[in-house]
Amino acid sequence: MNLTDLADRYGSDKGSKKHRYTELYHMLFQPFVNRKITFMEMGLLIGGPEHGIDADRETKDLPSIRMWLDYFKKAQIVGLDVSDFSWFEHDRFQFIRCDMDKRQNIVDAVGDAPAFDIILDDASHASHHQQNAFLTLFPKLKSGGMYIIEDLRWQPPAYEIRGLTKTAALFQSYVNTRQFEHSDPNTAEEFNALRDDISGCFVFQVRYQKHRRDQVAVIHKR
């Protein structure tokens, strides 16, 4: 099954109706489809504190998780979110509840998790959340794995820290110079310490149109 068809079937915004991420992912993920991989997605349903909705909101669906379980027939799927999705049960799904505002929260949440083959960040889209997650989880990615960050063009006003380097600019600096440039020297140093483990970094624009804003980053681990 084509991944875009699955996204549209389950109502995921990753499909043809909105972002079209699945057009890219279907190509990238083909080598993993029939393997026993471990896949993590952060951010499991539209809405939440980044949109002014309480983290304890009622949740009733998991469109992208249903899509991944159908697409990756042998994969263990790990879902992480600030809201509660523990009601969803599947023998290949594990839910972790976590507020990504502090790195230690992420460390505590995934400390016992196995190494991942693919990590996809579709959480709050706040720059410091994205960067906290990458610095914590990229080291837990297997060699040959992929780390993907979605929705780079939008940051939630409720969470975004004024003056902090946006994640899109951070990865564009690496693409352009092979050096991570950041408003916080310590954060820049931590990102640059990971350069030897990055074999490729690609930033794609909205709907893959070069004149539009950066939308998704794909980082491949050496």
Phi, psi of 181 (to 5 degrees): -110, 130
Q: What is the pLDDT along the chain (222 residues), one digit of tens a residue?
A: 899 999 999 999 999 999 999 999 999 999 999 999 999 999 999 988 988 899 999 999 999 999 999 999 999 999 999 999 999 999 999 999 999 999 999 999 998 888 999 999 999 999 999 999 999 999 999 999 999 999 999 999 989 999 999 999 999 999 999 999 999 999 999 999 999 999 999 999 999 999 999 999 999 999
Task: Supply the residues annotated as catalytic.
Answer: 125
What's the pTM?
Answer: 0.97
Burial 190-219 (b: 16+ CB within 10 A, else e): bbeebeeebeebebbbbeeeeeeebbbbbb
